[in-house]
Amino acid sequence: MKEHILAFGCEGIAPLLTQTFAPRKMAVKAVLLADYAQTVGALAGAADCPRTEEVYAGPPLAEPRLLRRPHEPRAERNATHRTAHSV
């Protein structure tokens, strides 16, 4: 699985970002203004983070933002999951 870069306010340079991060095995997703109300997990496609019905109606960001969601190897994710439920 690739790491995710969520790009806010970067619609014009999304293809350039994709080319830049592809060699590092990072997937870039341009986040549309209407999706700014979603959680980071939902934007990154996490199965346990459903999307909301809310549509963002506020102003755009003053500056572009990149947010990296690091890839978590399956073994570490499963160990964390077991620990959280065993407490």
pLDDT tens for residues 18-74?
999 989 888 899 999 999 999 988 998 888 999 999 999 999 999 999 998 766 665
Could you say which DSSP state residue 37 is in?
T
Is a pLDDT exceeding 50 seen at residue 83? no
Rounded Cα–Cα distance for residues 16 and 33 (Å): 19
CB-CB contact of 13 with 75 (8 Å): no
Q: Count H helices, E strands: the chain?
A: 3, 3
Quick one: pLDDT at residue 1?
A: 54
pTM: 0.70
